Amino acid sequence: MNKEMILVRIYLSEADQGKRHNLLDEVMELLHDKHRVHGVTVFRGSTGFGAKGVVHSADLLRLAQRLPLVVEFFDEPPVVKEALKALDSLLPSGHIISWPVSCRILEK
Amino acid sequence: MNKEMILVRIYLSEADQGKRHNLLDEVMELLHDKHRVHGVTVFRGSTGFGAKGVVHSADLLRLAQRLPLVVEFFDEPPVVKEALKALDSLLPSGHIISWPVSCRILEK
Amino acid sequence: MNKEMILVRIYLSEADQGKRHNLLDEVMELLHDKHRVHGVTVFRGSTGFGAKGVVHSADLLRLAQRLPLVVEFFDEPPVVKEALKALDSLLPSGHIISWPVSCRILEK
C-alpha cells in the first residue's frame, strides 16, 4: 500500500544565522520539537552557489563554514502544511521546495 | 527524448542490522546482484531523527555509527516494482518513498 | 504562494573527464557562468554503482576518486529547458533526471 506524502527540502548555508541561534538549529528545533515531522535528514553539499552567484567549495571554504546544507523531511499533507507556515518566519523566500511522494506502507 | 522512470529512496541508519549482515550491505546486494537497477547512489546524512524523535548528529555520534543513510536508485516502472517487492522483506514499513522522474535520453 | 519549477539532477563520477577539464568543473561552469540557474548544489555519494555494475565505495576508492557526484539545480521551466540542451553535449545519455517541484515564494 502507498500513502501520499509531501517531501520538503530546505536550502541553508552553514553560515546562516537565525534570530537566536544558528539557523540550522532553529529549523531542526521547529521540525523536531514543535511539529514532529517524519524522516528529517540533513545533507551537506560539497559545493554550491546561491542567488549571488558566489561559488562555495569544500576546498576553499571548509574553514569559513559556508557550505550548503539541505534539510529534508516528509510527512502527510496537513502536517507539512503547518510546518511550512512555521518555517516561513525563519527562512528567506525561494529557499523551500516540495514535491509529492508515495510512501510504502506494509500491510501487517 | 524523455523516458518516464521512478526514483526510489530508502532510509536506513548506519547501525541497522539485516538478517545476516549490515542492512546497507543486504540492500546493496539485493539491488545490485539480483535486480541490477540503475543509478544506485548512497548518501550519508550529517544529522537526522527518526520515528522515536532521537537526534543523531555527526558531532556526537560519529563513533556510534548511527548516522542516517539514504540509498537511491531509479529505473523503469516494472523493474522498480519487482525491486520494491523484494525490499519489503528487508525494511520496516514507512522507510521507502518514491516519485516519478523523467530521464533524458539522447537520440543518436 | 508557490511557483512551479523543475529540479534537475545530474549523475557524474569524480573521475569523469570533460572535453577540456574535469567534467564537474565544466558542468558547474556551464550552469553558473552561462545559464545562471538557481540553487545549484553538489552532493558526494559515499557508494554507488553505474551502468557497468561496478561498486565504488568510500572505503576502497577514496584515493582513486571514483565516488559518485550528484549536481542538482532548480529553476523555472524555460531556464531549465535551455540549460538541459547545453548539458546534452557534455553528458552521456541517461545521466540526467528531472521532476516538477513547487517553490515557496513569500508575499511581501
Amino acid at A89: S
What does the pLDDT read at residue A33?
A: 82
What mean pLDDT, rounded, does chain B reach? 84
Q: Which of A50, A68, A99 lies nearest to residue C101, judging by beta carbons?
A: A99
All residue ranges of chain B with pLDDT < 70 are 48-65, 108
Q: Which residues of C touch B5 (CB under 8 A)?
A: 97
Nearest to A107 by CA among B75, B88, C82, C81: B88
In angstroms, the separation between the Cα of residue C74 and the nearest Cα of chain B is 14
What does the pLDDT read at residue A85?
A: 94
Contact between residue A75 and residue A5 where contact means Cβ atoms under 8 Å apart: yes
Q: Which of A45, A53, A84 lies nearest to residue C32, judging by beta carbons?
A: A53
Nearest to C90 by CA among C39, C34, C40: C34
Render pLDDT for C55-94 as a digit per residue (tens, 0 to 9): 666 554 444 457 889 999 999 999 999 999 999 999 988 8
Q: Which residues of B touch C92 (CB under 8 A)?
A: 106
Q: Is A36 on the interface with B (CB under 8 A)?
A: yes
**ipTM attached to this prediction:** 0.84
Nearest to C56 by CA among C102, C108, C11: C11
Contact between residue B9 and residue B71 where contact means Cβ atoms under 8 Å apart: yes
Residue A5 scores a pLDDT above 90:
yes
Render pLDDT for A76-103 as a digit per residue (tens, 0 to 9): 999 999 999 999 989 988 899 999 999 9
Convert A19-71 into a string of H (helix), E (strand) and C (coil): CCCEHHHHHHHHHHHHCCCEEEEEEECCEEECCCCCEEEHHHHCCCCCCEEEE
Contact between residue B73 and residue B40 where contact means Cβ atoms under 8 Å apart: yes
What does the pLDDT read at residue B46?
A: 80
Chains interfacing with C (3 or more CB pairs < 8 Å): A, B
User: CB within 8 A of C93, min separation 6: which ones?
Assistant: B104, B105, B106
CB contact under 8 A, A51 and C38: yes
| Cell digits of residue B1 | 527524448
Render pLDDT for A33-78 as a digit per residue (tens, 0 to 9): 888 898 899 998 887 655 445 566 655 544 445 688 999 999 999 9
Chains interfacing with A (3 or more CB pairs < 8 Å): B, C
Q: Which of B44, B100, B105 lies nearest to residue C46, judging by beta carbons?
A: B44
What does the pLDDT read at residue B35?
A: 87
What does the pLDDT read at residue B56?
A: 59
Dihedral sign for Cα atoms in the order C55, B58, C23, B105: positive
